[in-house]
C-alpha cells in the first residue's frame, strides 16, 4: 500500500498514513466527521515509536480518538487547522516529542463510481455486499481524506444498507437485501446521484467477453490471466460472488484454471488463467451453474 509521510516539526519523528491519491502531499485536509490513522516512527532508524501521549491544540478542529504503541487515530471535528502533538520513546529508549500541522475541511465535491462500469449506471446481485468507490474533494480539485464519514442516502425499490464497519477510505460497503429493482445513492454533500439495478441470479443470461491481462500474445509455455463478468440482458453485473467453472475444451492446446483476483480490493471475482501447451485455438467454456448459464470462448495460442 502507498503511504504519505512527513517529518515532524521538531525533526524527531516521521508521521505516515495509507494514501491513494496525491501521495507526496501529506497535509491533505481530513473531511469533517472523518477519521485518519497515523503511524509514528523515529526519523533515524525508521523504527516504530512507543507513544506515551498524543493531543491537539484545538479539539474543536481535530481530536485524538486514541493511541497505542506507534499508532494513533484522529478525527476532524470542525473546519480549520490544528497542531497534533505526541510524546514517545524510540527503540533506543530515548524519550522525545514532535508535532505536525493538520487541516480539516468540509468536502465540496463527492464523486461516486462503480467498479466495473464507466457510466453512473450498473447492476449488482441481490443479497450480497457491494463496494462503491468514492472520493471527496474541494471545489478546486484538492483531495479530502479520511474514513468513517459516508454522507449518502439510499433510494429505490432495492434494500440498500450502509455497512459502516466494512467501509474505508476508498470504498463504501453496502449490504443488499433480497429485493430486486432500481436503486440509487445520493450524496448529502453535492447531490450527485449514482444509480444501479439489483437483480437475482436467475436474471443472469449471458457472460461477458473475457478481459485479458496479456501484454502480448499467449505463446506456448505462457500463462496469462483473464476475468469474465456475468450479464443480465445488456447489462454487466458488477462484483458478482457467484459460483463459476472454467473448463478447457481443447486440453491438447491449453489448460484453463481458476485463480484468485490479481487485486482483491477490486472486488471483481471472475478470474481464471490460460496456459498455452501447443500452437492453435484454445477453446474453453465458462459457466455459472447457479444461473444455468454457460458460454464458449476462444483465444489463440502462438508458437
Q: Give the pLDDT band (50/70/90) at residue 1.
A: low
Cell 506507534: give the residue.
Answer: 70
Beta strands 254-258; 218-219: pairing state: unpaired
pLDDT digits (tens, 9 = 90+) for 50-80: 999 999 999 999 999 999 999 999 999 999 9
pLDDT value of residue 60: 98
Question: Per-residue pLDDT for 215 more than 70?
Answer: no
pLDDT value of residue 117: 77
Question: Per-residue pLDDT for 162 more than 70?
Answer: yes
**Where does residue 120 rank: exposed (0-12), middle (13-18), buried (19+ CB within 10 A)?**
middle
Query: Across the chain, what does the average pLDDT equal?
Result: 95
pLDDT value of residue 154: 97
Lowest mean pLDDT among 33-37, 58-62, 216-220, 240-244: 216-220
pLDDT value of residue 119: 72
Q: What is the mean pLDDT of residues 84-104?
A: 97
Amino acid at each position: 500500500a502507498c503511504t504519505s509521510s512527513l517529518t515532524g516539526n521538531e525533526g524527531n519523528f516521521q508521521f505516515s498514513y495509507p494514501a491513494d491519491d496525491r501521495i507526496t502531499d501529506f497535509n491533505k485536509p481530513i473531511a469533517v466527521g472523518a477519521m485518519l490513522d497515523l503511524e509514528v516512527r523515529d526519523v533515524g532508524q525508521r523504527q516504530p515509536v512507543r507513544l506515551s501521549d498524543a493531543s491537539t491544540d484545538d479539539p474543536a478542529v481535530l481530536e485524538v480518538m486514541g493511541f497505542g504503541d506507534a499508532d494513533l487515530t484522529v478525527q476532524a471535528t470542525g473546519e480549520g487547522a490544528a497542531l497534533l502533538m505526541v510524546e514517545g520513546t524510540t527503540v533506543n529508549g530515548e524519550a522525545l516529542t514532535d508535532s505536525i500541522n493538520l487541516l480539516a475541511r468540509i468536502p465540496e465535491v463527492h464523486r461516486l463510481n462503480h467498479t466495473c462500469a464507466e457510466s453512473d449506471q450498473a447492476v449488482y446481485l441481490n443479497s450480497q455486499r457491494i463496494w462503491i468507490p468514492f472520493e471527496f474533494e474541494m471545489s478546486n480539485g484538492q483531495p479530502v481524506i479520511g474514513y468513517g464519514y459516508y454522507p449518502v442516502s439510499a433510494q429505490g425499490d432495492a434494500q440498500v444498507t450502509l455497512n459502516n464497519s466494512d467501509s474505508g477510505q476508498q470504498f463504501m460497503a453496502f449490504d443488499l437485501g433480497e429485493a430486486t429493482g432500481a436503486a440509487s445513492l445520493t450524496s448529502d454533500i453535492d447531490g450527485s446521484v449514482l444509480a444501479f439495478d439489483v437483480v437475482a441470479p436467475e436474471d443472469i443470461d449471458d457472460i461477458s467477453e473475457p478481459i485479458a491481462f496479456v501484454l502480448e500474445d499467449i505463446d506456448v509455455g505462457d500463462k496469462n490471466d483473464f476475468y469474465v463478468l456475468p450479464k443480465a440482458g445488456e447489462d454487466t453485473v458488477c462484483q458478482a460472488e457467484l459460483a463459476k467453472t472454467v473448463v478447457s475444451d481443447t486440453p491438447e492446446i491449453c489448460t484453463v484454471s481458476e485463480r484468485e483476483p490479481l487485486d482483491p480490493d477490486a472486488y471483481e471475482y471472475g478470474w481464471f488463467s490460460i496456459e498455452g501447451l501447443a500452437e492453435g485455438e484454445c477453446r474453453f467454456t465458462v459457466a455459472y451453474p447457479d444461473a444455468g448459464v454457460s458460454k464458449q470462448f476462444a483465444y489463440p495460442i502462438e508458437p
